[in-house]
Amino acid sequence: MERAYIPGAIARQPWGVILPLGLLVTFGCAVLYSAAGGHFQPWALTHGVRFVVFLAMAMLIARIPQTLFRHAALPVYGVLCVLLVLVELLGRVGGGSQRWLNLGFMQLQPSELMKPGIVLVLAWFYSVLPAPEIKTWRAIGPAVLLLGLPAGLVMLQPDLGTGLAISFGAVVVMFLAGLPLRLFLGGVVAVAVAAPLAFFTLLHDYQRKRVLVFLDPESDPLGSGYHITQSKIAIGSGGLVGKGFGQGSQSHLDYLPEAHTDFVFATMAEEWGMLGGLFVLTIFALILSWGLRVAQRAPDRFSRLLAAGMVTTIFFYVCINLMMVMGLAPVVGIPLPFVSHGGSSMMTNMICIGTIMAVDRWSRLQPAGLR
Amino acid sequence: MRKQKPGRPRTLPMSSALLTNTFERRTFVLGLAQAGVGVLLAGRLAYLSVAENARYRAASESNRVNLTLIPPRRGWVLDRKGAPLAANRADFRVDLVPDRVVDPDKTLAKLANLLGLTADRVSDIRDKLDKAHGFQPVEVASSLDWDKFAAVSVRLPELPGVIPQRGFSRFYPTGAAVGHLVGYVGPASARDYEQERNPLLITPGFKIGKDGLEKQFETRLRGVPGARRVEATASGRVVRDLGTREDVAGKPIQLTIDAALQDYAARRVGLESGSVVVMDCLTGDVLAMVSMPSFDPNSFADGIGRIEWKMLSEDDHVPLRNKVLRGLYPPGSTVKPMVALSFLEAGLDPEASVGCGGGLRVGNRVFHCWNRRGHGTTNMAKGIYQSCDVYFYHFAQQIGMDKIAAMAKRLGLGQEFPMPYPGQSYGTVPDPAWKQRKYGKEWAIYDTVNATIGQGYMLVNPLQQAVMAARLASGRNLMPRLLMDRRAPAAPSLGIKQEHLDLIHTAMNEVVNGRGTAGKARLPVEGVQMAGKTGTAQVVGLNIGNGKGGLWKHRDHGHFICFAPFDKPRYAASVVVEHGGGSGAAYPIARDVMTFLFDQAKAMEVLEGYEKQWGGNVEQRMAARYDAYAAKFGASAPKAPDEVQAAEAVAADNTPVTEPTGPQTDAAPPAPEPEASPSAAATEASAPMPAAPAAPAAAPAVPPAAPEGR
């Protein structure tokens, strides 16, 4: 009934995700406002503006037809790989590790874009792979190559966190695509065996130290363990309802490092307590479950895998970040989607949202097609 | 439909529909996994913020609130009249906290420039910085003027770890004179901190007592620190003040010491290595307790610098040893009044005489008197004022060592006094039972001979000698007292007959004011006569040196005990001059110190005359010496030791003369007395020969002392 009074373009938007997202970003703005000592500058305002801009972008993405997605999958992937190589080469020339390409108007971080990129290309790959081939090596070989190239390049940078994020998204898409279960079980076993080896051979010293300190943060309370210790103090001291808006001493007195980016959840929990934390968790639950529902009712294999893969990418961010700030994972530089201040992560996550919204739109255009 | 191999779970060929089905199942699993992670995160969140809330809240508070301790003002150490021996003065200081220093070399270079530090001082700070643990502060400079302090303060942003502050530092107005008496303070060592675990100990600017009274009365003197609570950022920037609690100054202690006398005595020792103890004969109050040369506790408070350490540790006059309490010496003839008193108490007639022919034959050997020409007929008084050894050899064998030892202990020798210093040496008063116990050997004649002239096993410290003098003078069981106590009960009488004491007093008066061995010790004060007794103790055998000249280390120790006025004793004193070449080095010091008690101006005049010859007063001489060392060695002097090493070195210096490990097998030759009056005819009497057993095999051949009548 109401639909008559609202323009169709607006009514058709997936408000079930935009509203919670808006709430979360608003809340994030409040936290950043407080973290800046009660100022909109330098974080809260840009955060809000970015959200609006990227939301518009997501809505545009949502209007892209599926065929374009399918056709663009491989070229986009190719371009991103080239950019990754370029970053690596420029980094070699410039000395030290480099993750950005300076485009003049913005710093482009190709590895960030590769997170949705890998999901896109794998979804495309499995959608064109004939169904019976799924249990053969032809389903695995190309996928492993597609993943191996960018993941290897990113890890070379070295950026372990993003490398893992890319791999995680890809592996979940492969899992959902129907690759034999034993591969994944075998993979778990292989990782269990390989991880200690990699720990001693592949990881850089600073990465190894992070892992060690994660296992025992008290061993280095003023060095690498400082982040985890201070984050836990911030969260723990918040209590049930927090110290109050603008009253977080850990963040305001600079004890909490990266209070507005990677550790923004700790900043929030200190002032808003467990209730604030549960609010954030609830919103993420809403967003992720919406994404999975979209994937479930998606019209075809490509869009199903695409949507589920995007959900996974967001989930990985949330999961690793929250585990890190609460001392359940080592410190890796992964921000909290929609709350942490930072353009790249906001862009990546909004691309994921936009893609899921696109899938949602396709399923409405072509309801429950081939089942 | 294709047939599947048995055991394969699949019965259908792979189709899109099946894949969709797989997808849905696996998506469900994925959703479940995500929900699981969500629950885990929520649980973790609840655990951290609710279950562990108290702990993290405390941690957050301790982050937020920065408690800066304000070192308490230390209690003063006062003399009997209320003059400060140790006080505090406000000063500006700069410390370094090693853990916060980023680039030590750069920081030190900057500080050296700003504060004008010398190269050796920079090296000292560098050493301490290397050794310091974590937050243990290292003092860079104290007593700064405002300009330098301000210069550092404004450059703080480029000097991380540097802490400039206003505070109080310990100040000893008379410097070296009270070094051993009061001790000194210094920054707490890692060991101190491990024992006490008190954050005050690692507060920049806080000092604890390291030696002497400062250490002994640490708890009383320390006081309660104040505190400043501020809210500070992680980088230490103060956001706001949350309040300040004032410190409570430590309680003062008042000593029985007379500061002026203490200073005078310290200066009067001059270039010698010696000690002076002055006691009040009415109360037992210790009026002065001096061991010189000493160290300047003012400069020790900043930590011992390399040049100062080199200077102190290379000094053969052992400035680090408190000779009053830790130096043990054979008392020499100063025991003779005591021995004589034991004779009187044992019933000997004071007029009982012996003819001194320069030696006493016992069995087949001769024990020599220091005066080889002999003293002629010698009664008790003459035995004392002429210090005749033969008189004592003779009657000691008659009376027996037990009686003498008992009197020695009664008068304080070998006794422990409850002085507030650790590691005192109490010496030995030998008697037959002691020797049996210690060495499993019979007491022999030569042991008695040795003991009666204060040699052999007999070892005392200068304080015990002063106590002996005071008890001889007063007849009271005086206890040396260093802490002022105006309500202390009067010391009980020793129960010695006054007529016996009078006899001894008269004889001792004769030593100074009559025919005795210390005529030059006469007080230049109208109506006050001092009684005394000289003593000379040999350090090495006469085969090495004659005790007068030669190597300083080989010269005899000089002793003098005295009290004044002789007829109504008020003050008693003992003076020991190490390697002074005999008692002649000791009694002029005693005379001037005693004069100071009755006529300060006269005493000062004499002292100033001496100090002109000596090259200035103690402070000036130490400064000159320091400059000479600094010019010679500069920063190239070896590192100063850290606290622990220094303590060990000091302890080694303080190790007293050890008791002989093996029993002595012979008589010690009597050391010469400086002022022998013409003795009576040597022919007068041959020594009586009590039927004493002959001395063991290695009999005579003791090189005779070479007396020098002066």
- Kindly state the tokens that stand for B87: 């006080």
Q: Give the C-alpha separation, B457 to A29, whole Å.
A: 90
How far is residue A152's CA from residue A160's CA, in Å, rounded to a whole number? 10
Query: Is A122 in the B-facing interface, judged by CB distances under 8 Å?
Result: no
Give me the CATH topology for the region B66-254. Answer: Penicillin-binding protein 2a (Domain 2) (3.90.1310)
* pLDDT bracket for residue B667 (50, 70, 90): low
Give residue A273's region: left, alpha or beta (phi > 0; psi -120 to 50).
left
Q: What's the rounded Cα separation, in Å, for the pair A57 and A356?
A: 13
pLDDT of A1 over the 70 cut: no
Q: CA separation (Å) from B60 to A238, A247, A249, B234, B643?
A: 10, 12, 7, 12, 36
Domain spanning B259-654: CATH superfamily: DD-peptidase/beta-lactamase superfamily (3.40.710.10)
pLDDT of B680 over the 70 cut: no
The pLDDT score that the predictor gives to residue B517 is: 81
Q: Using a CB–CB cutoff of 8 Å, tell me whether A131 touches chain B.
A: yes
pLDDT at A60 over 80: yes
- Best mutation target among B11, B29, B34 (most A Cβ atoms within 10 Å) is B34
Q: Across the interface, do B30 and A237 touch by the CB < 8 Å criterion? A: no
- Lowest mean pLDDT of A3-7, A13-17, B295-299, B373-377, name the range: A3-7
Do the domains spanning B66-254 and B259-654 agree at the CATH topology level? no
What is the average pLDDT score of chain A? 86
Is the pLDDT at B669 greater than 80? The verdict is: no
What are B143's two structure tokens? Answer: 């007593």
Mutate to test the interface with A, among B4, B21, B23, B238 (most CBs of A within 10 A): B23
String of DSSP letters for A345-368: HHHHHHHHHHHHHHHHHHHHHSTT
CB B315 within 8 A of CB B321: no
What is the tens place of the pLDDT at every residue in B509-520?
Answer: 988 888 888 888
- Domain locations along chain B: 66-254, 259-654
Most confident by average pLDDT, A8-12, A290-294, B356-360, B486-490: A290-294
- Alpha carbon A306 to its chain centroid, in Å, reads 15
E strand or H helix at A203, and its extent?
none
Instruction: Give the pLDDT score at B78.
Output: 92
What is the tens place of the pLDDT at every residue in A93-132?
Answer: 655 556 677 765 567 788 889 999 999 999 999 999 988 8
- Kindly tell me if the per-residue pLDDT of B685 is higher than 70: no
pLDDT value for B641: 66
Indicate the pLDDT class of residue A71, thresholds 50, 70 and 90.
Answer: very high
pLDDT of residue B679: 35
Using a CB-CB cut-off of 8 Å, the residues of chain A touching B61 are 237
CB proximity under 8 Å: A 157-176 to B: 172, 175-176
Q: Mean pLDDT score of chain B, rounded to an integer?
A: 82
> Across residues B110-132, what is the average pLDDT?
83
Write out pLDDT tens, residues B215-274: 889 989 998 888 888 888 877 677 788 888 888 889 999 999 999 999 999 999 988 889
Residues A159-184 have a mean pLDDT of 89
Task: HSE, CB side, 13 Å, CA atoms: give it for residue A219.
Answer: 9
pLDDT at B122: 85
Residue B645 has pLDDT above 70, yes or no: no
The strand pairing partners of B563, in sequence order, are B531, B572
Contact status of B59 with chain A (Cβ, < 8 Å): yes
* Residue of chain B minimizing CA distance to A299: B20
* A42-46, B238-242, B322-326, B447-451, range with greatest mean pLDDT: A42-46
| Average confidence (pLDDT) over B467-479 | 92
B454 CB-side CA count, 13 A: 35
This prediction's pTM: 0.67
Check residues B548 and A44 and name the one with the higher pLDDT. A44
Instruction: Dump pLDDT digits (tens) for B16-67.
Output: 888 888 898 999 999 999 999 999 999 999 999 999 999 999 989 888 887 7
**What are the C-alpha distances in Å from A239 to residues A243, A284, B50, B428, B483?**
8, 21, 5, 71, 57
Mean pLDDT of B115-140: 79
The pLDDT of residue B710 is 34
| Cα of B19 to nearest chain A Cα, Å | 6
CA Rg value for chain B: 36
Predicted pLDDT of residue A219: 65
Share of chain B above pLDDT 70, in %: 85
pLDDT above 70 for B648: no
- Contact across the interface for B41 and A305, Cβ inside 8 Å: no
- Tell me which chain A residues have a C-beta less than 8 angstroms from the C-beta of B235: 254
Q: Give the pLDDT band of residue A173 (cuts 50, 70, 90).
A: very high
Q: Does residue B123 have a pLDDT over 80?
A: yes
Percentage of chain B exceeding pLDDT 90: 23
Question: Mean pLDDT, to the nearest integer, of B430-443?
Answer: 88
**B23 contacts on A by Cβ (under 8 Å):** 176-178, 301, 304-305, 308
The more confident residue out of B239 and B427 is B427
Contact status of A307 with chain B (Cβ, < 8 Å): no
Q: What is the pLDDT of residue B290?
A: 92
For the segment A285-328, what is each residue's pLDDT rounded down to a tens digit? Answer: 999 999 999 999 898 999 999 999 999 999 999 999 999 999 88
Region B179-188: mean pLDDT is: 86
pLDDT in tens, A287-298: 999 999 999 989
The pLDDT of residue B317:
80
User: Number of C-alpha atoms within 13 angstroms, CB side, residue B173?
Assistant: 15
CA A116 to chain centre: 9
User: Using CA atoms, how far apart are residues A166 and A317, in angstroms rounded to an integer?
Assistant: 11
Distance from the Cα of B298 to chain A's closest Cα (Å) equals 38
pLDDT tops 60 at residue B692: no
**B378-397 tens-digit pLDDT:** 999 899 988 888 999 899 88
CB contact under 8 A, B57 and A304: no
Per-residue pLDDT, B671: 64
Lowest average pLDDT, out of A122-131, A209-218, B216-225, B287-296, goes to: A209-218
Q: Which of A227, A237, A326 to mutate to test the interface with B (most CBs of B within 10 A)?
A: A237
- pLDDT at A2 > cutoff 70: no
What tens digit of pLDDT does each residue of B194-216 get? 888 888 888 777 888 888 889 88
Higher pLDDT, B684 or B526: B526
pLDDT reading at B141 higher than 80: yes
Q: Residue B88 — φ and ψ, nearest 5°? A: -120, 150
- CB distance A274–B49 less than 8 Å? yes
CB B592 within 8 A of CB B603: yes
Say how far apart CA B308 and CA B498 lie, in whole Å: 52
Interface of B with A in 91-150 (CB under 8 A): none
Residues on chain B touching A312 (C-beta within 8 angstroms) = 30
Instruction: Give the DSSP H or E segment for B367.
Output: strand B365-368
